[in-house]
């Protein structure tokens, strides 16, 4: 097959094209898995674009593994722009039609969690961090962290608490979330305040990120000048206190569901309704 | 200053370095605003890395505007990896120490909204799309869309409803949200189900994306085989019905707050508590 293509190339330059697959949106995707000299790539790409244009193709995607960084400049010079990058590859895209592109947007948000973990003595699990903006401030804060790529929010909250403090927990609810912008580069941030129920109580702090960790009366946590002096921290403390005191503070529980493409996802919604719907489902599934 | 550097360069190659600024995390950032030949860039980058290493620097960032794509390959060959890319630039990073890097993660999620808009006759605003996976399925669905970079969820929901149907709305609450993975490339998706109150009722559909739009009895919406047959759609329909019927379906309302760096952000939490806290704040702010 490869020989055949080389053969065609000898006789007719226009028939040699980059290998590609068509997508459902009238576009094509090129995955450059093998190395190629940029002087070979340039005419091949040019011929391919001509052919795609003739065929009425719209969005052209080229995924370049980082080993083939030598081809980036060639693609850019032929009209491609960057779409997104991960550590090991760069995705470029070229919209052929004259119309406005309908290409999917790049990922725009990083997702973080804060963990509200309270024991039966109304003490919350708090840490002091040894780097970042809280370093040296003596502020006691909830364990927080970034949700890993592909990780569920409820899983990330349990993982972060375990990593930072050694405490085993069970996920209960999302009490609140905050959206903020330009939190790193031009990207936005979604931060979920998660309530977890502790299943162990002896703290074993992680040394790399955590200076100190302890159980602290929730009133003392909320009374810290830093917490009181900062809008978001202050509200979140009030929400947690309300949740711990007031029956009526309804929040969102996760329910494992399937997406239309059959993948598992979590739907977070009012916990009372979740229990009711789960009950209904159980009844439907019970043998007659 | 520039003259001085050129002067040094004539006498001692090692003192010529790329212009950079230090960050708060022991790293440096290089912003290549001006064009440079790759043969000039290569030795300059090499000398700079040596100097940064001697100084104990950690994360080295290079932001390359797409016009300078000719420098990508040079940076990669000297050990840089991709961090993220936007249409007009590529951010590369190099972690100098032997330790595991503590560099911030790339954005991992795209954020979307679905709009539940019901009138006083218990009819919901629904559309049929003329592209994508719903094209030609005759499924009536809520208006949906992607939250733009830097846009608030509550603003995006109002915008999408207006764009797709011409209906003016007011944001009320987030009723639920869903997190799913690998929804595009390797990225994840957060989808917020938003309730909006309509302020106008005459539909003027947008032609580009929307095949048809109408007000439809909520029971009929929920009874569609597609909705009933798909887990997430089915649950979301039940949540919206519960919200429209049950007093106790508490959901999350947005409150404008300030982040620690003084930016405006929205905190979404239990609407009843929000009203109570807002009231408390009003009282505090009232003149004695």
Residues of B in contact with A149 (CB under 8 A): 105, 108, 186-188
Q: What pLDDT is attached to residue A5?
A: 38
Q: What is the DSSP string of A40-54?
A: HHHHHHHHHHHHHHH
| B226 contacts B139 by C-beta, under 8 angstroms | yes
Q: What is the DSSP string of B151-211?
A: --HHHHHHHHHHHHH---EEEEEEEEEEEEEEEETTEEEEEEEEEEEES-------TTTEE
Residue A10 pLDDT > 60, yes or no? Answer: no
Q: What pLDDT is attached to residue A141?
A: 96
**How far is Cα B79 from Cα B69, in angstroms, rounded to an integer?**
17
The average pLDDT across A115-143 equals 92
Q: What pLDDT is attached to residue B12?
A: 46
Residues of A in contact with B252 (CB under 8 A): 176-177, 252
Residue A246 pLDDT > 50, yes or no? Answer: yes
Which residue on chain A is closest to B226 by alpha carbon?
Answer: A260
Q: What pLDDT is attached to residue B144?
A: 96
Please tell me the class of the A109-245 domain.
alpha beta
The answer to whether the Cβ–Cβ distance between B188 and A104 falls below 8 Å is no
The average pLDDT across A219-248 equals 91
Which residue on chain A is closest to B63 by alpha carbon?
Answer: A185
End-to-end alpha-carbon separation of chain A, Å?
59
Provide the 3-class DSSP secondary structure of residue B45. helix
Compare CB distances from A179 to B152, B180, B232 and report the shortest one's residue: B152
Q: What pLDDT is attached to residue B258?
A: 83
**How far is Cα B3 from Cα B5, in angstroms, rounded to an integer?**
5
What ipTM is given for this predicted complex?
0.85
Q: Lowest mean pLDDT: which of A88-92, A244-248, A284-288, B35-39?
A: A284-288
Q: Which chain A residues in 142-181 lie under 8 Å from chain B, judged by CB atoms?
A: 146-150, 152-153, 175-181
| A73 contacts B73 by C-beta, under 8 angstroms | yes
Confidence of residue A130 (pLDDT cuts 50, 70, 90): confident
Between B81 and A33, name the one with better pLDDT: B81
**How far is Cα B1 from Cα B5, in angstroms, rounded to an integer?**
6
Q: How many residues in chain B? A: 288
Tens-place pLDDT, residues B176-193: 999 999 877 778 999 999
CA dihedral A81, A87, A89, A90 (to 10 degrees): 0
Q: What pLDDT is attached to residue B7?
A: 35
Compare CB distances from A87 to B81, B182, B242 and report the shortest one's residue: B81
Q: Which of A129, A160, A163, A170 is catalytic?
A: A163
**How far is Cα B167 from Cα B159, in angstroms, rounded to an integer?**
10
Q: What is the DSSP string of A235-280?
A: HHHHHHHHHHH-TT---EEEEEEE-TTS-EEEEEEEHHHHHHHHHH
Mean pLDDT across chain A = 88
Compare CB distances from B249 to A109, A187, A270 and report the shortest one's residue: A270
Q: Lowest mean pLDDT: which of A9-23, A88-102, A182-196?
A: A9-23
Q: Where are the domains of chain A?
A: 20-95, 109-245, 252-284
Q: How many residues in chain A? A: 288
Min Cα separation A46/chain B (Å): 18
Residue A19 pLDDT > 50, yes or no? Answer: yes
**How far is Cα A282 from Cα B139, in angstroms, rounded to an integer?**
28
Q: What pLDDT is attached to residue B282?
A: 61
Tens-place pLDDT, residues A66-120: 999 999 999 999 999 999 999 999 999 999 998 888 888 889 999 999 999 999 9
Q: What pLDDT is attached to residue B219?
A: 96
Residues of A in contact with B82 (CB under 8 A): 66, 85-90
The answer to whether the Cβ–Cβ distance between A267 and B85 falls below 8 Å is no
Which conformational region is residue B110 in: left (phi greater than 0), alpha (psi within -120 to 50 degrees), or beta?
beta
Two structure tokens written together for A253: 């529980």
Residues of A in contact with B87 (CB under 8 A): 81-83
Residue A2 pLDDT > 60, yes or no? Answer: no
The percentage of residues in chain A with a pLDDT greater than 70, rounded to a whole number, is 91
Low-confidence ranges of chain B (pLDDT < 50): 1-14, 286-288
**How far is Cα B65 from Cα A200, in angstroms, rounded to an integer?**
50
CATH superfamily of A20-95: Gcn5-related N-acetyltransferase (GNAT) (3.40.630.30)
Q: What pLDDT is attached to residue B135?
A: 81
Cβ-proximal residues to A61 (8 Å cutoff; 6+ apart), any chain: A23, A27, A28, A29, A30, A83, A91, A92, A93
Q: Please identify every residue of B annotated as catalytic.
A: 163
Active site annotation includes A163? yes
Between B141 and A33, name the one with better pLDDT: B141
Domains B20-95 and B109-245 share a fold: no
Residues of A in contact with B81 (CB under 8 A): 66, 87-88
Two structure tokens written together for B54: 């001697």
Which residue on chain A is closest to B104 by alpha carbon?
Answer: A184
């Amino acid at each position: 097959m490869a020989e055949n293509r080389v053969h065609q190339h000898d006789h007719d330059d226009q028939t040699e094209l980059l290998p590609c697959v068509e997508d459902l949106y009238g576009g094509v995707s090129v995955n450059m898995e093998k190395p190629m000299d940029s002087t070979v790539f340039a005419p091949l790409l040019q011929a391919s674009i001509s052919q795609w244009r003739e065929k009425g193709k719209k969005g052209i995607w080229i995924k370049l593994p980082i080993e083939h960084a030598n081809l980036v400049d060639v693609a850019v010079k032929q009209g491609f722009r960057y779409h997104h990058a991960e550590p090991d590859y760069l995705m470029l895209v070229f919209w052929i039609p004259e119309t406005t592109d309908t290409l999917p947007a790049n990922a725009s948000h990083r997702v973080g969690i804060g963990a509200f973990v309270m024991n039966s003595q109304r003490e919350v699990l708090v840490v002091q961090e040894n780097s970042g903006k809280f370093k040296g401030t003596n502020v006691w804060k909830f364990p927080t962290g970034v949700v890993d790529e592909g990780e569920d929010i409820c899983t990330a909250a349990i993982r972060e608490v375990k990593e930072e403090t050694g405490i085993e927990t069970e996920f209960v609810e999302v009490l609140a979330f905050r959206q903020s912008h330009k939190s790193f580069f031009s990207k936005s941030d979604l931060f979920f305040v998660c309530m977890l129920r502790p299943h162990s109580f002896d703290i074993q702090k992680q040394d790399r990120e955590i200076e100190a960790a302890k159980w602290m009366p929730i009133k003392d946590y909320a009374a810290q000048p830093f917490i009181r002096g900062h809008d978001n921290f202050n509200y979140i403390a009030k929400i947690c206190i309300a949740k711990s005191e007031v029956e009526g503070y309804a929040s969102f529980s996760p329910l494992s569901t399937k997406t239309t493409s059959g993948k598992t996802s979590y739907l977070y919604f009012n916990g009372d309704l979740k229990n009711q719907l789960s009950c209904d489902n159980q009844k439907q599934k019970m043998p007659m």
